[in-house]
Each structure stands twice: as C-alpha cells, then as structure tokens.
Structure 1
C-alpha cells in the first residue's frame, strides 16, 4: 500500500516565501556588501593598485565621446546628448570601488536615454539599448561580479531585465530585441565574474587557513619541546633529590653523637625531599603522553659526544670533534648544562644529516671557566637533501636549541655561511646566572 502523498504547501506559505525573497533581493541591490575599498587594494605592487583607476579613466575617455556621437545620430541635440552621455558614462569612474552605487546611476540614465531616443531616424534600429550602452553596461556588470555577492548579482540582473521588459511593453513597435541581447550577455559576464570572485575568495581563505595552521604547528612544536625538556629536567632534579633523601636518612647512622634536634632536622629534610619527589612524579605523569614510558638509562652528557659523532659519521657525514680535556669527566659540569650541551650538538648534527648530507662538519666544545661554548659548523652539502626532508618534514632542531639556551640563561647564534654551510654557536654560563624566563 503506497503511503499518502504529502499535501501541497499552503498558498500563504508560498506567498510569504516569495515576499521574503523579494525583500532579500531588494535589500541586496540597495546595500553594498563590501566597504568602498578599491579593487586590488591589497596588491603588493603600486602599479597593481593603480591599475583599476587607469582602466576606469580609459573607459570614460572612450565611451563618453562615443555615446555622444551615438545619441546625436538618434536625432538628439548636442547639449542633450552630452548631458545624457555624461550621466551614462562618467559614473564608470566609481566601478573600481563603488560598482553598485554606479549601477544605481547608470541604469536609470540608460532608461532615460532610451526614452529620448524614441522617434529617431529609421536607420537607427537599436532600441531600447544603444550599442555603446550595451558595451559599457557589460563592463559595469563585470565590476559588480568581482565585488558583490551572488544574491546581489541576481537582483541586478532581474532589475535590468525588468527595465527592458517595461520599455518593450510600453513601446512594442520600437523594441528590436536588444533587451534579450543585453540580458544574455549580462548573464554570461556575471557568471564568469562571480566565478572568478568566488575562486579568489576560496584561495584567500585557504591561505589564511594555512597561515593559521602553520602558526598552530609552530606553537605545538614549541610546547612539545618544552615538555621534553621538562621530562629530562625531572630526571636530573630527581637524581639530586634522591641523593638528598638518602644522605638525610643515613646521617644519624653515619655521624655519631648527633643531638636529637639534629636528627629531627635530618628527618624533616628527608621527608621534604620525598614529598618533592612525589610531586615531581605527579607533574611528570601529566607531561608524559599516555603511550610514553619513562626512560631507564641516565640522561646523556658530554661523555657521550664521541659516540654521537661516530654515529653521525656512520650516517654519511664526515664529522670531527674537538673537546677540551676534562669537560667530559662526570661531575665536572652542572648536570643541566651537561645535558643541554649534548642535546644542542645532537640537534645540530641531526639537522646536518637531514638538510646537508655529506657536508664536512666540525664540533667544538670548550670552556673558559665562566661559560661553556658549543660550536657546530658544517660546509655546503655534498648532495641534494631527500625530498621528504627538503619538503619541510624536519623536527624540532632550532626550537629545541633555543629553549635549552633560554633554560640555562645563555645565548644562541645560528645562521648560514657565505660558502653555503651553516653555523650553530651556543654559550652556556656555568655560574649562577638566572635563566631567562619564557
């Protein structure tokens, strides 16, 4: 059994929808959809910004004398033809920034010109729109299509057709079909111009979205690198806190004859250290992702630089290491400085492998007693980078270096060299200088 068909919509509903659409079209053709900014106002070059004004001046200079000549051929006096032609063509100067306002002036002027052209010589059969009016009107339609919304263009096209239809009905013997010609050509121009405008808007939105995505990607990279540094610092600080706890707990057994007050003080120190460790582990559980596990090995330092350089050589990069004697000894440097220096060299060598394969590279780590200087210099690449790396699939190299230098209160200098190579120079203070806050 077939279900009953839906009843037709009530006539009042159709009439109400029609009235709403008419009001929307009337509002669209009476209110510009954009501020009066010139076309190509955002163009990077000055000649591009001036181009619309040059075009509109050329249009007026062309169509004003042409329209006067055409109207005088219809039997108008020179003064009347000049006045009507001026109203029909001079507003074309506005189409670079106010095309809809220009249409408000030009369409009534074209209608008035058609009325004054009635009764002209029989040889002049183009009515109600003269040839010059049709061509100038198409330029106006193109300007509208490049600036206004689709609803406005539909309203303009309907009003244009209605004006020609009214003139044709009032004077049926005079019309020769130019109204249909103007409607067809206007529709073609509006469709092409509207498609170009919508395509340009889509490209502009795509560029804006890509810019936003790139900023978000950079911000996410920065946050990920800071989280990584925080996890590593947890391991460094946790080691020292564990040592404090063990020393405070074992002090009463290692040092004999401690008074009760001293034993209670050591017990309080051990309890505070254990509480700090507990809080740090809670913080680390938040910083660490769900699928990440804690590292079992101790954090690396300068004592593992030689292994890092050897691994880089095995990756196809001829690298050499210059390390001041004694810097790699355990406990010689603050652990945070030791770890940061290693990570800076690691990131710099990783960038060489990715972006400058085969480049001759030199790593130098030295100290003057006040600062630790880390220098990584590579020459021009011996071969092209892989398409993946050249396409920007790199890691957090420079971001990680900057964050680690900020952590220690040092300075970082990076940049290309004249021969096509790259230089990374970091200075990490060994004193008690306060780190730069992010």
Structure 2
C-alpha cells in the first residue's frame, strides 16, 4: 500500500509494453498487401511513406527526362516515357513495392538498351545506369527491404546483378563503374533494411510474449489468491457444519420427549452435515497447492487457527516493531460479527501494513488502522502518510497478491474496496464488509 503500488506499476508496465508493440509493428515489416507504417500509432506516421514517395517521384521524373535528353541525346518522347517508367512507380513503393520494382527494373533495362541504340556518343558518360536511375532504384530498395522476406530480397539482388552483367556484355569495352555501383549499393540497402525489419519483428514478438506472460502471471496470482481464500473459508464453514452435526446428533438426548419422526429428522440433518463437510474437504484437496500440507505431521499453516479482530492489536504491534508508526482505533461494537467477516478484515489490514513496510519505508507519519462496526457492516480503513524521510523501498515491484487478495475478499462478502493515493501523498485502503446474520453464540 503506497503511491507506487504494484497494481499501478503493473498497469504502467503493460502500457509501456503495449506502446512498444505498437512502435515495433509500425516500423517493422508490414503484412503482405499492407502499406508501410500502416499500423503506426500517429496519422502523420502512416502518411509519411506516401509523402516521401510523392516527393521522390516528383523530383526524379523531370531530372531523369532532362538527363536522358541533354546528356544522352535520346528523343524527347522516348526520354519522357522512360522517365515516367522509372519515377512514377515509386508512388506504389509504400504499399506494393514488389510491383513497383517489376516496372522500374524493366524500365531500367530498357533505358540501358535505348541509350545504346538511340542515344548519342557514350564516351565518358555513365552507362548502362545513369545517375537518376541509380538513385531511384536505391530509393525503391528501401521499402522493398522493409516489406519482403529475406529470400525475396536475395532474388531481387541476384536479378539486379544478373541484369548488370548481361547488359554490360553488350558493350565489352565500356567501364562497368555504374553497374558495380548499383549492385553494391543496392545490396547494402537491401541488407540493412532486411536486418532492420527482422530485428523489429523479433522485438515485436518478444513484446507480445512478455505481454501475454504478464497477463498469465496476473491470472495465476488471482487463482492462487482465490484458492487461499477458499482454504480459509473452509475453516469457517467447517466449524459451523461441525456444530450443526453435533447439535443434531445430541438433540434427542438433550431434549425430552422428542417424537420418533423428529429423531429421524435430526439424524438426517446430522448425516447431511457430515456429508457436506466431507465434500468440502475433497474440494479443498483440489484447491490445495503444493507445499501447503503440514510437514512431519505437525500443525502447519493450513491447520493453525485462523485469526480475527482479537489479533489486530498484536498485528499492529508487530508493524510498530518493524518501524511503522501504526495505531489502531475501534469504534462501534464489533462483537458478534460472522467469522468470515472478521477473518477477511484481519487479512486486509495485514496486507495493507505489509505493503507499508515493503514499499514505503520512512513513513514516520502515523499509519492509522480504523475499524468501525454498525448494524449493517464493518468498515476497515488503513491510511499511511507520505514518508517524512524518503527511503528506498525494500521492493520495487510487488507480487500482485496484495490488492488482488483484498478485492477478492471484499467481493466474496458482497462488499466494496476503495484504494488510491491521498492528497498528502500517502495511500489509503478502505473496505466495507457487510454484516451477515451471525450464528448464535459466535464471537469475534
């Protein structure tokens, strides 16, 4: 019980992991047919690839046409068609990069052939790949590497290298500088982009597994807490069932003149009570976890008497010895409360004080444990102030049993639980446990 309690810390941890999953999905590899960054958390991130593709296409189209016209002397119509074929498919790079690659790759090969057949003198000019062709191809390789699997990327690079070699054979004496540059740079881009995609995919899978594991741990803690509560309630209910059985068995001897029919009814009640008690013990064996059996035949924790409100004073004193300035106040008349109510009230106070010791050392401001009983319910409130001398918590992360157990106990009794930080910087736990009709002679 402290401002940074395990429940809020767990929520923050799950929220951080969820953001990590979103980011890794956003910047990792998309699914087939899905646009790049389609799962990004921000709208501008989802639109960014399309803006970049539009800017690249708009800048490369006129540049390619001018270079093919001025530097290589291609006819205007042919230069325009080849420029469109190299630059326009970049608009598809964000969603369908492989389709765009088919068009660009084919156009690049046709450009090399057109320069050889209809272009001017190539002496001193880059051939078979002009500079705008290399730039546009490299820009296309980046979304390719973020979309496609490793096997496809290897096929793309091998196709690029094969095309460079085959086209270069058409003019043996020409310098292969542009071909080497294209093959090397495209391989580097495909390699780096593919590595980034695989790393993002691994991080996404890891984040998902951690989130799933956290949910499973929380569910397991909840089940363990319910099993522990069930074992404690067994002690409470078993006591009443035993009393019913004994009273029913002894009623014909304690009450004079009991008719034979009533004797048979009392015997039936006693048998039913014993059968119910045996069934409860069998169900408890299913809920009992490993290591909870009494060892060596002695009275282990499962066989020890369950505490109640009478032991709260001792509990508060133990918290004081642990360095917590705790005090107990009781108002109303708690006598006659059902055993289930007193047991759960004790456990709630016990867990609240334990959280103060574990998570809020230095809380010299008094920890107030207040009990108020009236005709309808028992109200339990534990409030600790802010640390007067801040100290490092004994535990940074809680096990999750504390508040989970408190909620389960109050829900089991039909009550309510309110937890949260106070305005002064402390923490407050308040539970309302409805008063059920007590059994005759039951004491707190």
* Structure 1 unmatched runs, 5+: 1-31, 433-438
User: How far 1:263 moved relative to its partner?
Assistant: 1.7
Q: Aligned residue for 2:55?
A: 58
- Per-residue displacement from partner, 1:13-50 (whole Å, max 9, x unpaired)? xxxxxxxxxxxxxxxxxxx9933322222222233223
Quick check: 147-156 or 369-378, which moved more? 369-378
Work out whether residues 355 and 385 of structure 1, in 8 Å CA contact, stay in contact via their aligned partners in 2.
Answer: no
- Given the alignment, which residue of 314, 319, 342 partners 1:312? 319
Q: How far apart are the structure 1 equivalents of 2:148 and 2:330? A: 68
Check the 8 A contact 2:377/2:435 in 1, yes or no.
yes
Structure 2 gaps, min length 5: 1-28, 294-299, 438-444
User: Following TM superposition, by how much is the alpha carbon of 1:92 offset from its aligned partner in structure 2, in angstroms?
Assistant: 1.0
- 1:106 and 2:127 correspond: no
SS for the counterpart of 1:324 is strand
8 Å contact kept, 2:227–2:287: yes
Higher relative contact order (CA 8 A, sep 6+): 2
Shift of the 422–218 alpha-carbon distance from structure 1 to 2, 3 Å rule, reads same
TM-score, reference length from structure 1: 0.86
The whole-number CA distance in structure 2 between the counterparts of 1:217 and 1:179 is 56
* Offset at residue 384 of structure 1 (A): 5.1
> Shift of residue 304 of structure 1?
1.1
C-alpha displacement at 1:268, in angstroms?
Answer: 1.4
The answer as to whether partners of 1:357 and 1:382 remain within 8 angstroms in 2 is: no
Partner of 1:25: none
Counterpart of 1:298 in structure 2 is 305
Q: 1:417 to 1:362 in 2, by over 3 A?
A: same
Partner of 2:226: 226
2:234 and 2:280 in contact (8 A); partners too:
yes
Q: What is the match of residue 67 of structure 1?
A: 64
1:267-282 → structure 2 map (5 Å cutoff) = 267-282=267-282
Aligned length: 397
Does 2:343 correspond to 1:339? yes
Give the structure-2-normalised TM-score. Answer: 0.85
Q: Give the superposed CA RMSD.
A: 2.0
C-alpha contact (below 8 Å) 1:111/1:163 kept by paired residues:
yes
Whether the 8 Å CA contact 1:246–1:270 is kept in 2: the answer is yes
1:77 maps onto 2:75 in alignment: yes
Matching residue within 307, 325, 331 for 1:324: 331
Which residue of the partner structure matches residue 379 of structure 1? Answer: 385
**Conserved 8 A contact 2:361-2:394:** no
Deviations 1:324-360 (A, max 9, x none): 2531x4xx10111111111111122222222222323
- What are the equivalent positions in structure 2 for 1:355-370 lying under 5 Å apart? 355-359=359-363, 360=365, 361-370=367-376
How many Å apart are 1:364 and its aligned residue?
1.0
Which moves more between the two structures, 306-315 or 199-208? 306-315
